């Protein structure tokens, strides 16, 4: 089916053909060597005007002001924009002036890529610019960029601001909304800070399978696929926990992985079906030790990104300076609802949920009811980093039973800005208890809980060989990035978030 072109696209294709006819092919193969970036020229030339006397730069043409035989334009490279000055007689020293008169003045459009050579100078009005001595067309843009205009007060007009279009066309968003790139650079710095923090402690970064014969390590619905050669069902991992603990069994004392995980669940501004988390497992440690490590690590992340432990998120100033406030799960529920549920059975929990106007599915067991009560009435109120500890055993089939409190496990979640950003246990290493927990999960599944775990016989076999006392941690990178970059939606910290089809038929 032939593509229908807009008027602007038709004009640009005509310009492309005219360039080719003139002998200026706008998709050259050879390398264009650069030696400078806009940000460096603008920041360093003012201090030393002997620098940047032989400049080679490349980027998009973002504006053009033609004034007869000379023009000013704006070039945008990966670091920002810089003004360039183009003179016909300089870039076209021979009699053939087509490069300037026809190509630069008439056929080059906003969004086209060019390469330039020249020298830095300061204009009469004090703007650092590049005096162009040679110019080459590197790529002709066949679609016009959205025109973004800024008035004298700094207000943006006609910007590329519709969230859905920005997420669908991130490649355009990054060009016309420079602040978006900074968000992703901060995310990269966040990941690198955590990686360096863990490497400095000599923990080993590893990789584990994404395609798994049995999904496990979390309570979630999986994506399912099929391997044709093996004729078997496989699942995209919902967590990498069980594989990492197998490495602890195998003799590693500390392992971590930055993992892409997949959960076939609802979507919201806090949920994307594909997400990133870092999981860490350290032998001979417990969840109390892990709380202290997380505090130290997140304090460092905030300092590296912002130079302070205080981060603005919307109207809230969040302080990552340690130590963080701690509640047990039951303490938090009593604090925010006035209800003491610590001794209630399933029927009693359902009554409390009903009293609090919380809908509970018939398939839900004790753990899920408690989780729903906490999620509805407590979580959103926890803005500063807060540990919720000592969960009921029904909620945590992979965590070790509490050393002092019957019916609870040694687990914490770190809540910040009203959402969980980390989850950790003293890991269950008793294979008999672990099998019983899996069996309890299978019973919940039989009742209709489609997020219940399944029995992983290979994992049970592994810990039957013996797994040392271990503490494990998972941190949601996307949610942490939302906080550290003051982003309102998870889609704002994912380059290419999952979207519905644009034109569903």
Boundaries of every domain in the chain: 7-145, 179-324+384-493
- What are the respective helix, strand and coil percentages of the chain, to the nearest 5? 35, 25, 40
Secondary structure of residue 279 in the 3-state scheme: strand
* 3-state per-residue secondary structure call for 312-355: EECCEEEECCCCCEEEEHHHHHHHHHCCCCCCCCHHHHHHHHHH
Is the bond preceding residue 323 a cis peptide, omega within 30 degrees?
yes
pTM of the model: 0.91
* Residue of 421, 410, 358, 429 lying closest to 385 (CA atoms): 421
Q: How far apart are CA 84 and CA 75, in angstroms?
A: 7
Percent pLDDT > 70 in the chain is: 96
CATH 2.102.10.10 assigned to domain 7-145? The reply is no
Torsion 69-70-74-78 (CA) sign: positive
The neighbouring-strand residues paired with 387 are 326, 414
Each residue's pLDDT tens digit, 426-462: 999 999 999 999 998 888 888 887 777 888 999 999 9
Residue 431, φ and ψ in degrees, nearest 5: -65, -30
pLDDT at 178: 87
Q: Do domains 7-145 and 179-324+384-493 have the same CATH topology?
A: no
The neighbouring-strand residues paired with 325 are 386
* Residue of 161, 169, 132, 157 lying closest to 55 (CA atoms): 132
DSSP annotation of 143: S
Q: How far is CA 425 from CA 173, 211, 216, 397, in A?
A: 40, 25, 15, 10
Architecture of domain 179-324+384-493: 2-Layer Sandwich (3.30)
Each residue's pLDDT tens digit, 215-251: 988 888 999 999 999 999 999 999 999 999 999 999 9
Helices (H), 400-504: 431-446, 457-464, 477-484
Asked if residue 504 has pLDDT above 70, the reply is no
In what helix (H) or strand (E) does residue 41 lie, and over which residues does it extend? helix 38-44
Between 413 and 394, residue with greater pLDDT = 413
């Amino acid at each position: 089916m032939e593509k229908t072109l807009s008027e602007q696209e038709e004009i640009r294709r005509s310009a492309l053909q005219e360039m080719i006819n003139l002998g200026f092919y706008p998709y050259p193969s050879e390398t264009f060597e650069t030696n400078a970036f806009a940000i460096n020229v603008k920041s360093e030339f003012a201090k030393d005007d002997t620098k940047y006397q032989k400049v080679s730069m490349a980027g998009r043409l973002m504006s053009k002001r033609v004034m007869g035989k000379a023009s000013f334009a704006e070039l945008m490279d990966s670091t920002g924009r810089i003004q360039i000055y183009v003179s016909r007689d300089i870039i076209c020293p021979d009699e053939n002036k087509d490069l300037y008169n026809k190509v630069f003045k008439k056929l080059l459009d906003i969004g086209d890529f060019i390469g330039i050579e020249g020298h830095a100078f300061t204009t009469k009005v004090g703007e650092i610019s590049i005096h162009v001595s040679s110019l080459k067309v590197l790529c002709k843009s066949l679609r016009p960029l959205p025109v973004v205009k800024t008035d004298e007060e700094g207000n943006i007009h006609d910007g590329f601001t519709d969230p859905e279009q920005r997420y669908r066309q991130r490649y355009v968003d990054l060009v016309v909304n420079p602040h978006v790139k900074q968000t992703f650079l901060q995310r990269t710095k966040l990941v690198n800070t955590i990686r360096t923090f863990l490497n400095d402690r000599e923990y080993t970064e590893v990789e584990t399978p994404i395609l798994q014969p049995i999904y496990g390590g979390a309570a979630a619905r999986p994506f399912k696929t099929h391997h044709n050669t093996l004729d078997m069902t496989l699942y995209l991992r919902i967590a990498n926990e069980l594989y990492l603990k197998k490495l602890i069994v195998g003799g590693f004392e500390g392992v971590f992985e930055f993992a892409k995980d997949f959960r076939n669940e609802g979507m919201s501004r806090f949920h994307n079906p594909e997400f990133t988390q870092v999981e860490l497992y350290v032998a001979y440690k417990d969840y109390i030790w892990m709380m202290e490590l997380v505090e130290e690590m997140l304090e460092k992340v905030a300092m590296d990104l912002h130079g302070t432990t205080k981060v603005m998120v919307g109207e809230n100033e969040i302080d990552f300076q340690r130590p963080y406030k701690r509640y047990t799960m039951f303490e938090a529920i009593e604090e925010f609802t006035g209800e003491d549920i610590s001794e209630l059975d399933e029927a009693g929990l359902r009554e409390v949920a009903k009293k609090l106007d919380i809908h509970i599915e018939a398939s839900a067991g004790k753990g899920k009811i408690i989780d729903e009560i906490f999620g509805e009435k407590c979580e959103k109120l926890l803005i500063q980093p807060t540990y919720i500890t000592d969960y009921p055993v029904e909620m945590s089939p992979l965590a070790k039973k509490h050393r002092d409190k019957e019916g609870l496990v040694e687990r914490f979640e770190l809540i910040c800005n009203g959402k969980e950003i980390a989850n950790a246990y003293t890991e269950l290493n008793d294979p008999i208890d672990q099998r019983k927990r899996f069996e309890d999960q299978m019973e919940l599944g039989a009742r209709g809980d489609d997020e219940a775990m399944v029995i992983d016989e290979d994992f049970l076999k592994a810990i039957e060989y013996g797994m040392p006392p271990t503490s494990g941690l998972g941190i949601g990178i996307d949610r942490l990035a939302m906080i550290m970059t003051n982003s309102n939606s998870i889609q704002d910290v994912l380059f290419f978030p999952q979207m519905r089809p644009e034109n569903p038929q």
